Amino acid sequence: MNKKVAAKDLGLKDYKETWDYQELLFQKTIDLKIKNRREETLLETPNHFLFVEHPHVYTLGKSGDITNLLVDEKQLAARGAQFYKINRGGDITYHGPGQIVGYPILDLDNFFTDIHKYLRLLEEMVILTLAEYGLKAERSEGETGVWLDVGTPFARKICAMGVRASRWVTMHGFALNVNADLGYFDMMIPCGIKGKAVTSLNVELGQKEVSMEEVKKRLLKHFSRLFEAEIIKENTET
């Protein structure tokens, strides 16, 4: 089993370009798994972890409801935002500057073949990272992602998640609000869950800005421990 994970920071990058890049890595891994099975070879399958920030964009998962987007195309354009229907699970999500988006493209045969466990470990990675900032983050029963003040009228989401998997290869991932412009969340019903707020790390800490690089390092540290993986840093060229 290959437990090395190539970590790459793409910086600020268009959503569709990044999606296409994910699909390329995803399909290459699947093709290699098919080749291994067909030709009875034992070639190692790669594992990737992409960090990225996107320009303002809304994405709707396969099971999502378009009515959870509360604005039309003209209003989106006026705010400089794009919209895509995509092939992950979950409902509507916003991505934008000041948000750390993580796309692990893993062959779970290298780790464990359990999607439920995979999602819970991604949540745990975020929970442990936020604990380093003095925040008590939690799961909310029946709702994927990471929340604060669960079970109270002040419950608010700080990290959204949605993944796709085929032949135990994953893509898509999580979006953690670090220095996000929360006004963009008013243009949708986040994840299709009514009556619950969204927050960002800088808001919770009462800071103008939190170091994105520091948060990324902490996320990778906890990912490495939880998945028992060796992180290999790569350059940013795609």
108, 191, 212, 229: which is the annotated catalytic residue?
A: 191
Instruction: Identify any residues that bridge with 107 across adjacent strands, giving them in sequence order.
Output: 169
* 191 labelled catalytic: yes
Burial of 78 (0-12, 13-18, 19+ CB in 10 A): exposed
Euclidean distance between CA atoms 69 and 168, whole angstroms? 31
**C-alpha dist (Å) from residue 127 to 115, 188, 192:** 18, 25, 22
Reported as half-sphere exposure (CB side, CA atoms, 13 A), residue 128 has a value of 17
Ramachandran class of 205: left when φ > 0, alpha when ψ lies in -120 to 50, beta otherwise: alpha
Q: Angle 17-21-22 (CA atoms, 0-180°, nearest 5)?
A: 115
Catalytic (active-site) positions: 191
